[in-house]
Amino acid sequence: MPRRSSSVARVFRFVTITSGALFVLSQCADRETPKQIVTETRERKASLATFITKEKLTELTSTLASDEFDGRDEGTEGSRKAREYLIAQLQACGVKGANEGSFEQPITVGKGVNILGRIEGSDPLLADRIVLVSAHYDHLGHCDGAICNGANDNAAGVASVVSVACEI
């Protein structure tokens, strides 16, 4: 369990730093002074603490890596359940499906399904810009008869992508 906790802490630090950097970069094009950028970035970073918390990242990671999803191997019932869970999380944050309104995009090889979210620009100057959201959520399924939950592999990464998408 300590490995999962330290992994979540690393993801939390990464998400916080990355979110701040992405926000600064996105603001550079439509702000006039560096002082405005710094002030708004500090305000935005403070607001990130409302959704991107250690507890929320742990909850998302633990749920996705739980036995309920049976290792999330592509094309399985566990993968379908994980996909539905992630789509519900994105919908709750106002993220829209990016594939003609759907979140699902079947892969061309294998039995898996990608999840694609779309966040549209809300600033009038950026309304024609979008952010596409996707993460590798499936995993190995079973390894030597045991469930391979994939908490440190990709569940933590997916949790951070969902958390950042909910803040954008």
Name which of 89, 138, 95 is nearest 113 in CA terms. Answer: 138
Please list the alpha-helical segments (H only) found in the chain: 2-28, 34-48, 54-64, 77-92, 156-167
What share of the chain in percent tops pLDDT 70?
69
> Taking a C-beta distance cutoff of 8 angstroms, is the pair 65, 131 a contact?
no
Supply the pLDDT for residue 88: 94
Distance CA 127, CA 19 (A): 20
pTM across the whole model = 0.69
Q: pLDDT tens digits, residue range 46-79?
A: 555 566 788 888 899 899 888 888 888 888 898 8
pLDDT digits over 123-157, tens only?
A: 788 778 888 988 777 788 888 888 877 777 688 88
Residues 6+ apart with CB under 8 A from 154: 135, 136, 137, 138, 139
Report which DSSP code applies to 76. S
